[in-house]
Structure 1
Amino acid sequence: MKRILITGGAGFIGSNLCDYFISRGNKITCLDNFSTGFKHNIEHLLDNPNFILIEGDIRDLEICRKACENQDYVLHQAALGSVPRSINDPITSNEVNVGGFLNMLVAARDAGIQRFIYAASSSTYGDSKSLPKVEDVIGKPLSPYAITKYVNELYADVFSKTYGLECIGLRYFNVFGRRQNPNGAYAAVIPKFVIQLMNHESPVINGAGDYSRDFTYIDNVIQMNEKAMLTDNKDAINQVYNTAVGDRTTIKDMAGFLKDYLSEFDPEIKNVEIVFGPIRAGDVPHSKASIEKAVNLLGYQPSHRFADGLKEAVAWYWQNLK
C-alpha cells in the first residue's frame, strides 16, 4: 500500500501506470492538465476510493506542492513530447519540460518524497553514432525536446547529490501500446500508421524507411517503473537507465509487420501502399539500447519482444478504435 503520485497520469504511459499500480492495492494521485492526456483514459478509475485526480499544470509550483503532499513516490511522466512539436514551439516545450520538471523536483524535495522516478528519453543520445546506446555515452542533442530531457537528467543528478532526493531516470525508447493516441499532428508513428491502415490510407514514411528504432512495448515500461520504485540496491539510485528491449526494427519493416497483423482482421489492408517522403528534421537515424545496466542493477527482464507487443497493440487498436 504505497502512495504514488503519477504526473501526466491521464496520458498514454501515465494511465497505464495508474491502472497497474492501483490494481496492486496502492493509493494513486493523478496530476494532469489534459493538454495531451485524456479524461477517458482514467474515467474508469474516478470512482475508485484509492484514486485521486488533481487537474493542474506542472508549471504551477503550488499545484506541484499540493500534489506531492503525503506521497511516498513520484512517477513523473508529465511532459510535452514530440521532436517536431519542440522544433515548432521550443519555448513551450522548455517551459513544461524544464520549468515544470524543476517545480516537481522542488515540490518532491520539500514534501520528503522517498523516491522520484522520471521519464527521460532516448533522444538524449543525439548525434552519437555508437550502437547499442550505452547510458554513459551520449552525443549532442538534435532537437529542443532532446535538450529539455537531458537537462532533466542534470537537474535530477544535482538534486540527488545536493538535497539527498533519490532520483532515477528512465530513458524511454519509442514506447508503444494500448491507449497511445493515433490522432493529431504529433502522433507517434505506430498508432498513426495503424489508424491510417485501418482506414485504407497510405502511411508516409519519412525517408527511405531504413531508420531504425528500439520499439518498446508499454508493459516493459511499467516493469521498469516498478523496478526503479522498489529497488533497495543503493548502487541503483541516482542513475539513468535505458528502458527498451535491446533490439531494433526499421520503420519500413515495422510498417510491414503492421500490414501483416492488421490484415488478419481486414484482408484488404494487405493491398494498402506504403509511401515514402522527405526525412524529418531532428530525427535520430538509429536507436538500439543496451539494457545491461537495467538488467544488472534493477533486475529488469523485458516481458515483450517487439513482435509480441505489436500483436497485442494491434488487437487493442482494432477492438477500441475500429
Structure 2
Amino acid sequence: MGYKNLKFENNALFLVTGGAGFIGSNLCGAVLDMGYRVRCLDNLSTGKREHVSMFQGHRNYTFLEGDITDPETCVKACEGVDYVLHQAAWGSVPRSIEMPQYYEKVNIGGTLNMMEAARKQGVKKFVYASSSSVYGDHPQLPKREGQEGKVLSPYALTKRVDEEYGRLYKTLYELDTYGLRYFNVFGRRQDPDGAYAAVIPKFIRQLLNDERPVINGDGRQSRDFTYIENVIEANLKACLAPPEAAGEAFNVAYGGREYLIDIYRQLAEALGKDVEPVFGPERAGDIRHSNADISKAKRMLGYEPEWSFERGIEAAIQWYKENI
C-alpha cells in the first residue's frame, strides 16, 4: 500500500518541475526519502525559495532555476532524466480569467516544451498535473473520465489541451504520458496567503488569527478534497504504470465529498474557535460540485489512496499550528 515501498532503478533520476511549489516540494521530499535522485526545475514565480533551501544540503538533490517557457531550459532539465513529474503551471481559476494569454503561454506552451524535451532526451515516463476543472459544466457525479462538459475557465482549458497533447505524444512519438486530474489537493506547505490561496489553509490561518473567513457563495459547494500523500502515491505509481495506460488521464482523489460550510465548522471546532464566516459572492468559473470516480486510476495505475479527508485534515491542522 502507499508508495514508500515502490522500487525504481538504482540511481534513478526524477525531474520535478515546479518543485518549489506545494505539490512539487512534497514530491521532491518523497523521492529523496526513498533514496533516489531529484532535479528540481522552478523559476520561483509562485514557488518558494525555502522549498528549495530545505533540500539543498541533500547529496541527491539539485536545483535548476529556469522557466518552462524556454525550450532550451527544458531540454537541459531533461538531460539524463528517467522520470518527469511535471507540476509547473500557474494555478487558480479566478486568476486565469484575468490573465488568459499568460496561462496559455505557461500552462500550454510550457507543458508542450517539457513533453518535447522529454521526447528528445529519451525520458521513460512523463507524468503531468491536470485538474478536475476539465469536467467543466458536466453535471454528473461522480466525475468519470470520458464524460467532460464545457470548460468554465482559461485554466481548465489549458489543462484540457495539455491532456490532448499528452495523448498525441503517446500516439505519435511513443512518449509514455500520464495525466493526473487532481481534485482539490491540500496538506503541509500549501500557501495560506494571497487572494488566490486554497480554501483549507486560508481558513486555518484566518481562524488562528481570529479573523472571519469569507466563504464564496452559500457554502453548500462540495469538493473531493485530497490529501497530499495520495497525490504523491499517484505520481509515483504512474511512473511504474504499463505503457498500455499511457496517453490517458486519471482522476486523483480519495473519492469523498465534503461541503465547504461543513469543513469550515470542522476546522473552527478543531481549532477551538467560535467565529462566524462571512458569505460573499460566488466566484466566476467555479464548479458547484465535485466528486471523483477513482476506479480507472485503481485499475490502470494501482492507485489505492490511504489518506481519507478526516485523516488528512488532522495532519494538516497540526502542521499549520506548528508552522504559521
Q: TM-score, normalised by structure 2?
A: 0.96
User: Letter of the aligned partner of 1:261 in structure 2?
Assistant: A
Which residue of the partner structure matches residue 6 of structure 2?
none
User: Letter of the aligned partner of 1:36 in structure 2?
Assistant: T
Equivalent residue in structure 1 for 2:275, among 269, 272, 276: 272
| Aligned-partner Cα distance in 2 for 1:240–1:41 | 28
Which residue of the partner structure matches residue 109 of structure 1?
119
Which residue of the partner structure matches residue 58 of structure 2?
48
Which residue of the partner structure matches residue 249 of structure 1?
258
| Aligned-partner Cα distance in 1 for 2:209–2:286 | 27
Which residue of the partner structure matches residue 299 of structure 2?
296
Which residue of the partner structure matches residue 200 of structure 1?
210
User: Letter of the aligned partner of 2:317 in structure 1?
Assistant: V
| Aligned-partner Cα distance in 2 for 1:158–1:297 | 19
Which residue of the partner structure matches residue 266 of structure 1?
none
TM superposition shift of 1:28: 0.4
Does the Cα contact within 8 Å between 2:52 and 2:63 map onto a contact in 1? no
Which residue of the partner structure matches residue 185 of structure 2?
175
User: Letter of the aligned partner of 2:246 in structure 1?
Assistant: I
Summarize deviations over 1:37-83 as a string: whole Å, max 9, x none. Answer: 00111312102121110001100111101100000010000000000
| Aligned-partner Cα distance in 1 for 2:247–2:112 | 16
1:28 aligns with 2:31: no
User: Letter of the aligned partner of 1:245 in structure 2?
Assistant: Y
- Structure having the larger proportion of residues in helix: 1
Query: Secondary structure at 2:268's aligned position in 1?
Result: helix
Which residue of the partner structure matches residue 70 of structure 2?
60
TM superposition shift of 1:236: 2.0
Q: TM-score, normalised by structure 1?
A: 0.96
Summarize deviations over 1:144-164 as a string: whole Å, max 9, x none. Answer: 000000000001111110000
| Aligned-partner Cα distance in 2 for 1:272–1:210 | 18
TM superposition shift of 1:302: 1.1
TM superposition shift of 1:307: 1.1
| Aligned-partner Cα distance in 2 for 1:49–1:311 | 32
TM superposition shift of 1:25: 1.1
The Cα RMSD (Å) is 0.8
Equivalent residue in structure 2 for 1:82, among 92, 95, 104: 92
Which residue of the partner structure matches residue 16 of structure 2?
6
Which residue of the partner structure matches residue 8 of structure 2?
none
Which residue of the partner structure matches residue 320 of structure 1?
323
Which residue of the partner structure matches residue 284 of structure 1?
287
| Aligned-partner Cα distance in 1 for 2:302–2:177 | 17
| Aligned-partner Cα distance in 1 for 2:73–2:57 | 22
Query: Secondary structure at 1:71's aligned position in 2?
Result: coil
Which residue of the partner structure matches residue 271 of structure 2?
262
Which residue of the partner structure matches residue 151 of structure 1?
161
User: Letter of the aligned partner of 2:251 in structure 1?
Assistant: N
TM superposition shift of 1:280: 0.7
Which residue of the partner structure matches residue 240 of structure 1?
249
| Aligned-partner Cα distance in 1 for 2:168–2:192 | 36
| Aligned-partner Cα distance in 2 for 1:96–1:195 | 29
TM superposition shift of 1:284: 0.2
User: Letter of the aligned partner of 1:41 in structure 2?
Assistant: H
User: Letter of the aligned partner of 1:187 in structure 2?
Assistant: A
Identity of aligned residues (%): 54
Which residue of the partner structure matches residue 231 of structure 2?
221
User: Letter of the aligned partner of 1:56 in structure 2?
Assistant: G
User: Letter of the aligned partner of 2:249 in structure 1?
Assistant: V
Does the Cα contact within 8 Å between 2:43 and 2:66 map onto a contact in 1? yes
| Aligned-partner Cα distance in 2 for 1:72–1:205 | 43
Alignment length, in residue pairs? 314
Which residue of the partner structure matches residue 120 of structure 1?
130
Query: Secondary structure at 2:45's aligned position in 1?
Result: coil
Which residue of the partner structure matches residue 27 of structure 2?
17
Query: Secondary structure at 2:271's aligned position in 1?
Result: helix
User: Letter of the aligned partner of 2:283 in structure 1?
Assistant: R
User: Where does structure 2 lack aligned partners over 5 or more consecutive residues?
Assistant: 1-10
| Aligned-partner Cα distance in 2 for 1:296–1:166 | 17
TM superposition shift of 1:9: 0.3
| Aligned-partner Cα distance in 2 for 1:147–1:49 | 39
Equivalent residue in structure 2 for 1:136, among 135, 143, 146: 146
